[in-house]
Amino acid sequence: MKDPIFEPITINNLKIKNRIYLPAMHLGMANNFEVTDRIINFYAQRAKGGPGIICAGYATIDELSGNTQNIGAHDDKFIPGLKKLSKVIKDNGSLSAIQINHAGRYNFSFFLNGEKPVAPSPIASRMTKETPKEMTSDEIKTTINSFAQAASRVKRAGFDAVEVLSGTGYLISEFLSPLTNQRTDKYGGSFKNRMRFGLEVVEAVRDTVGKDFPLIVRMNGNDFMPGGNSKAELKEYAKILSEGLVDALCINVGWHEARVPQIVASVPGGAFSYLARGIKEKVKVPVIASHRINDPKIARQLLEDGMCDMVAMGRSLIADPMLPEKTRLGKENEIVHCIACAQGCFDNLFKLKHVECLCNPLAGHEADKPFKKASSPKKVLVAGAGPAGMTAAITARLRGHDVTIYESAARPGGQLYLAAAPPGREEFARLAKDLETQVAVNKIPLVLKTKLTEEIIRKENPDAIIVASGAKPLIPPIPGINLPHVAESWDVLQGKAVTGKKIAIIGGGAVGVETALFLSEKGTLPARAVKFLLVNRAEDPETLFKMATLGTKKVTLIEMLDKLGKDIGKSTRWGMMQELSRHHIKTMTGSKVIEITPKGLNIEQDGDIHEIEADTVVIAAGSVPYNTLEPLLKKMDVEFKIAGDARQVATAFHAVHQGYKEAGLEI
């Protein structure tokens, strides 16, 4: 039986070898709009992995359409760089496309030398907090022409296709939506008028590139903006686009300011494929499904079920560039999956940093430091099989060292399993499994239930040791901390502690928030039960919503600082804060716990003392490095490196990157 992923497909006259489409992702790697070596190396590596077609971008169409970290397509001077990019993609085995776009009101005046961003109407964005300038009729005509000229440059640069972004809250979708288009001219008012700008852009692009050049439009299947475009309107728009204008439609979901999570771990795999199906049923051109397709099994099922004609796998190929080739060769078990943490991709962009990846420390650093075999292989012992320890061990092994890992627990993975305990965070356990698989693939001995001790070190006589022993919970000096109803968050998340009905959690950082969400799930209706009751019409949707969000625990989350989850990445934090509210978790910021009592605890807030009743008090005050080996190794005069939380408590992202760069590469 043929694998549907590797069935060829044709878009216009372009024959594509498989159904994997790497969609455009803003990488933050351009320099003053120029294609850089970092971009070239990034896409060369992905092309080697074997997706059918790679769409780079987005690329700008004029000076107001993006920022200097975007790839430029708004001037002929950028064509040499674009040619280099298209060539490297094709030379390494994939077809090449590039997406062109205008950010509209999603741009920042900061990036425009103080000039205001433009939009169909002067309506401020929740994302930028800026009010854009309303475009004049002449500016609209000029912008349409700029799209066409950018597409012409894309074609002249040797790309096999061009994609126009008509969604996500950017300029074309701003014209399409009644939320952002309140014009009274021919580009505003009725839906027919609001479609006009997008259709004229696509028509101008088509006229410029010709009928035989593949033209793709990426658009929303649902913008998830209350008062925005309905799904019916978007289907109508898709139908009109497909009737002679475009050759394929790539369906994405949501605007950047929508309050429905789109790309984080809480989104189930392939959850938004129903939107691609809805549009596929209305059009006769190939339809590409997007979002959270991080596993070939999901991709294969969507294709087999007729939900789409191709699958967009973007961040999946950031995490593992070789995913398509591993799938083709029957090595799916060796894939390192994207876990949708957003720590290195989206969160980096908010910091004006280029894209990186928790799961793949090479992403964005493909040519930063040559990966060299060790000139003289060493015998290396690794203390700890968490993300830092396993990454360091794998890296050292690939460099030619003889490596053995010692782990005191019964399974590898460390705190990744703690991170995976709350609802919607299960993907972190997948990274633990993927790293464990890579350890096995690289034939690295893993000794479980065994702590690396002085006796073992003397017996093994290693040349070097990597200390990646992780962290331990921080226990604050609060009166009453040793009372019997006090539990530690790590024990709660691992199911080692029994909690009562009324629970007070001390600490509103990442672990405290995760523990609160973990406990709030107790007694709620699981997904399978919700579906059963829904399809049998046993309960109405509102009742099912309550049963899915209101558990049997009453949770209070207490934080001394003025903000919860300060150590949670921006892409993930807002969704978790939304979940705290949805699950009726009481939150108290600016609150200092002064005493734990047999009945609960006492807190100080704004100078006043309050008593909070609790059957169980959970300590989630953070963690501290656990590193008992360092003094011993210094005494023994053994070469060593320290990685991850054993060195400094931080995120899993830092653990993996330290394990790779500062341990595996340096040992």
Residue pair 547/524 in contact by the 8 Å Cβ criterion: yes
Residue 230 CA to residue 589 CA, distance in Å, equals: 39
Asked whether the predicted pLDDT for residue 64 surpasses 80, the reply is yes
Q: Are strands 20-22 and 310-312 parallel, antiparallel or unpaired?
A: parallel
- In this prediction, residue 350 carries a pLDDT of 87
Question: Residues for the chain: how many in total?
Answer: 667
CATH 3.50.50.60 fits 475-621, yes or no: yes
- Per DSSP, 529 falls in state H
The mean per-residue pLDDT over the stretch 494-517 comes to 97
Roughly what angle, to the nearest 10 degrees, separates helices 510-520 and 570-582? 40
Domain boundaries in the chain?
Answer: 4-350, 379-472+625-664, 475-621
Asked whether the predicted pLDDT for residue 133 surpasses 90, the reply is yes
Which of 515, 548, 542 is closest to 530 using CA atoms? 548
The mean per-residue pLDDT over the stretch 284-296 comes to 97
Just give the CATH number of 379-472+625-664: 3.40.50.720
Number of helices followed by number of strands (H, E) in the chain: 22, 28
CATH of 4-350, one of 1.10.1240.10, 3.20.20.70, 3.30.70.20, 1.10.3680.10: 3.20.20.70
Asked whether the predicted pLDDT for residue 74 surpasses 90, the reply is yes
Which of 147, 163, 248 is closest to 207 using CA atoms? 147
Residue pLDDT, tens place only, 459-468: 999 999 999 9
Residue pLDDT, tens place only, 432-459: 999 999 999 999 999 999 999 999 999 9
The mean per-residue pLDDT over the stretch 413-419 comes to 96
- In this prediction, residue 186 carries a pLDDT of 98
Report CA torsion sign: 550, 551, 552, 554.
negative
Q: How confident is the model at residue 480 (pLDDT cuts 50, 70, 90)?
A: very high
Residue pLDDT, tens place only, 393-410: 999 999 999 999 999 999
Q: How confident is the model at residue 637 (pLDDT cuts 50, 70, 90)?
A: very high
616: amino acid identity, one letter = T
**pTM (two decimals):** 0.95
Burial bucket for residue 239 (CB in 10 Å: 0-12, 13-18, 19+)? middle
Residue 284 CA to residue 243 CA, distance in Å, equals: 8
The mean per-residue pLDDT over the stretch 470-480 comes to 96
Tokens 């796998």: give the residue: 313
- In this prediction, residue 371 carries a pLDDT of 76
- In this prediction, residue 416 carries a pLDDT of 97
Phi and psi dihedrals of 547, rounded to 5? -70, -25
Residue pLDDT, tens place only, 100-120: 999 999 999 988 888 999 999
Asked whether the predicted pLDDT for residue 53 surpasses 80, the reply is yes
- In this prediction, residue 126 carries a pLDDT of 87
Which of 476, 416, 467 is closest to 658 using CA atoms? 467
Residue pair 96/89 in contact by the 8 Å Cβ criterion: yes
Which residues lie closer than 8 Å to 39 by C-beta, 6 or more apart? 27, 29, 30, 56, 71, 85
Q: What angle do CA 578, 259, 295 make, to 5 degrees?
A: 95
Asked whether the predicted pLDDT for residue 251 surpasses 90, the reply is yes
Which 3 state secondary structure label does DSSP give 533?
helix
Q: How confident is the model at residue 542 (pLDDT cuts 50, 70, 90)?
A: very high
Neighbours of 609 (CB within 10 A): 10
Q: How far is CA 415 from CA 12, 212, 339, 428, 573, in A?
A: 49, 53, 15, 9, 19
The mean per-residue pLDDT over the stretch 302-311 comes to 98
Element (H, E) at 216: strand 215-220
The mean per-residue pLDDT over the stretch 168-189 comes to 98
Least confident of 344-358, 495-509, 529-543: 344-358
The pLDDT > 70 percentage for the chain reads 100
Q: How confident is the model at residue 132 (pLDDT cuts 50, 70, 90)?
A: very high
Phi and psi dihedrals of 571, rounded to 5? -65, -30
Query: The tokens of 601 are what?
Result: 């605890």
The pLDDT > 90 percentage for the chain reads 94
Whole-number average pLDDT of the chain:
96
Which 3 state secondary structure label does DSSP give 380?
strand
Residue pair 563/504 in contact by the 8 Å Cβ criterion: no
Residue 555 CA to residue 612 CA, distance in Å, equals: 11
- In this prediction, residue 653 carries a pLDDT of 96
Q: Are strands 379-383 and 464-467 parallel, antiparallel or unpaired?
A: parallel
233: amino acid identity, one letter = E
Report CA torsion sign: 128, 133, 136, 139.
negative
Residue pLDDT, tens place only, 252-282: 999 999 999 999 999 999 999 999 999 999 9
Q: How confident is the model at residue 1 (pLDDT cuts 50, 70, 90)?
A: confident
Residue pLDDT, tens place only, 320-379: 999 999 999 999 999 999 999 999 998 998 888 999 999 999 999 998 876 789 989 999
Residue 351 CA to residue 496 CA, distance in Å, equals: 38
- In this prediction, residue 662 carries a pLDDT of 83
Q: Are strands 9-11 and 14-16 parallel, antiparallel or unpaired?
A: antiparallel
Asked whether the predicted pLDDT for residue 634 surpasses 80, the reply is yes
